[in-house]
Structure 1
């Protein structure tokens, strides 16, 4: 097989200059399909100007990254049925030089590999603590792993086996795909290579909060859909969110309410004791991050924000449970 058997799917929505950097970073020898989810900027026009095949999603069905990626790879294979590998790239990412050769070499080396991905880095981690948190989040271990992110090289045969992503998931579609692929005997591998530069541009607490809320929604949706067969780390994450974001603060309120008529001092002591648990947990998270090699300043901020983020995440969990209970249509949780 030759490098020409790689096709590229880029998805985006109002990415502006980020999309231009993205499309320009893809070598011209690869066929590119750009899937647009209702952009009102010049994304569609620019993609056309690069020679990419452009697919504009119908907004009547709702926009999800999963639906966009599915539309992209299916259009790509319609155009060239002999495509062996599909590189998915989010429109706010720029591909690193040499990535395609390294990824292709890795996936060819093992016929059981469905997905290969590398190091996604944040373009401007110094601009905000939230950007730096994103960069840290993407530094996952090298080797066989249980899940990947949005940027990844995937075998076309594996995509067909799983029938692609789950269109209805508004978040967490990549771990869902990886889990379903594992049932066919496929593996996912993170290689030691630079893959993409991502421009999160999260400069405000409110945007970070929405991103954390979306993550909580994703954890709940994954576990609801797969139950006991869901990814173990996602089940653990959901339990942690529910405990720290819902169960423990609820118990604080219940204890305080029950103790107040008896003795305000008792209520105060109980509330203080329970609150100390949060401080201890933040300290534990901080210490683990420090032991991983991060400086104290980042480790302390990381510990605090990770714990605060449980409240944002639990709001996403509750939203999923509510929509599932009342059978409401799921809508995007956008943080940009």
Structure 2
């Protein structure tokens, strides 16, 4: 009978002991109509440089009409949670996922991401200190070359390394921090991630950006209509989160919110004044109208006029790229302003922005053997 050499047995036992000391991680993926990406996301988790027995994958579907759930169920060990809320939100999905599991750490992912294989090894070291409640890493766009919008997203995904003011949708969080704060807001259609992070920070935890690769993201934005919709919702989220932070005595997103109001609102207001003045036809009125229009335009185009060099240095861009980015930074405040106005109008008339209803029955699958 063959016996394993003592040295190999000792090495095997040591490896097993190291693996057993690693924390369990619940991986919560959310998606709607994500049949093109959910399988790829699950496979990236299963291929991570981390013991598979310590990883538990939950796919939470917010109301797909495609084969997303069927695809997720094909993967061994994946638990699917199919929701049918009246108005689906990311917060509903994320809460359903982490509350179903029991691991001390929860990795939240959008289903259109691909996890970096070395992320968990870096993340568990960064999140180990007692006061660290959440850790995020670098997110890069999978295909930045496919569209201008993807390229913009790739520039703006990440903040500076170190302690930060908020996290995004792809982050690893301690269960204790989620239980202490109650988890995600289930009504917000945007901004739910930074909103939760602010409550976690106020509860005494810290949020850390490690500066190491975490995941790739497939924004898949190729049409101007998609860009307008996303930036409109960004403006709505700025307003919604800013209102809550203002009530809490925080200045978080105050600069971003005021920038939208001053630049987008200033430009729009100057045009509203200039148009009737031009219609008057008198020389003085026309000159005043032109001056107002010029002032509003200069306010709007401030990044394009004055910040190209700054973008070249900070983003390490060629001049042509910096000019393109400056145009985006100048004009994006207009759809964002529309989102801000939609938020405040919704508050006045008690009609907040809602997502479309889901179209499937709610269920939680059994784990595949």
Unaligned runs of 5+ in 2: 1-19, 47-51, 357-369
Mapped pair 1:107 → 2:144: no
Residue by residue over 1:161-189, the C-alpha shift from the partner in whole angstroms, topping out at 9 and shown as x without a partner, is 11001111111111111111111110000
Which is further off, 84-93 or 275-284?
Answer: 275-284
Matches within 5 A, 1:300-315: 300-315=323-338
Q: Deviations over 1:14-35 (max 9, x none)?
A: 1122111100111343111110
More deviation in 167-176 or 27-36? 27-36
1:123-166 CA deviation, whole Å, 9 max, x = no partner? 00011111011111113110000011111110000000110011
**Structure 1 pair 4/275, CA: closer, same or farther in 2 (3 Å)?**
closer
Shift of 1:113: 0.5
In 1, distance between residues paired with 2:319 and 2:106?
40
Deviations 1:256-286 (A, max 9, x none): 4246533224423442344233334422232
Structure 1 unpaired stretches of 5+? 78-82
Relative to the length of structure 2, the TM-score reads: 0.84
Shift in alpha-carbon separation, 1:132–1:233, aligned structure 2, 3 A:
farther
Give the Cα–Cα distance (whole angstroms) in 2 for the partners of residues 89 and 97 of structure 1: 14
Q: How far apart are the structure 2 equivalents of 1:10 and 1:114?
A: 19
Rg larger in structure = 2
CA RMSD of aligned residues (A): 1.8
1:238-273 deviation per Cα after TM superposition (whole angstroms, max 9, x unaligned): 111111112332123214424653322442344234
Q: Does 1:238 align with 2:264?
A: no
Tell me what 1:221 maps to. Answer: 240
Task: Select 1:202's aligned residue among 177, 199, 221.
Answer: 221
Contact 1:121 1:138 (8 Å CA) reproduced: yes
Match of 2:344 among 313, 321, 330: 321
How many residue pairs were aligned? 326
2:269 is equivalent to residue 250 of structure 1: yes
Q: 2-side partners of 1:161 and 1:52: how far apart?
A: 27
Equivalent position of 2:61 in the other structure: 36
Residues 190-236 of structure 1 show CA distances to partners (whole Å, capped at 9, x for unaligned) of 00211111000011111111111110000000122232536534111
> In the superposition, relative to structure 1, how do residues 214 and 232 fare at CA in structure 2: closer, same or farther (>3 Å)?
same
Aligned match for 1:279, one of 301, 305, 318:
301
Relative to the length of structure 1, the TM-score reads 0.92
* Mapped pair 1:181 → 2:206: no
Counterpart-to-counterpart distance in 1, 2:291 and 2:114: 53
Q: Is the 8 A contact 1:35 1:71 kept in 2?
A: yes
Query: Is 2:161 the partner of 1:135?
Result: no
| Contact 2:31-2:60 at 8 Å conserved across structures | yes
Moved >4 Å (runs of 4+): none
Aligned to 1:80: none
Relative contact order: is structure 1 or structure 2 higher (C-alpha 8 Å, sep ≥ 6)?
2
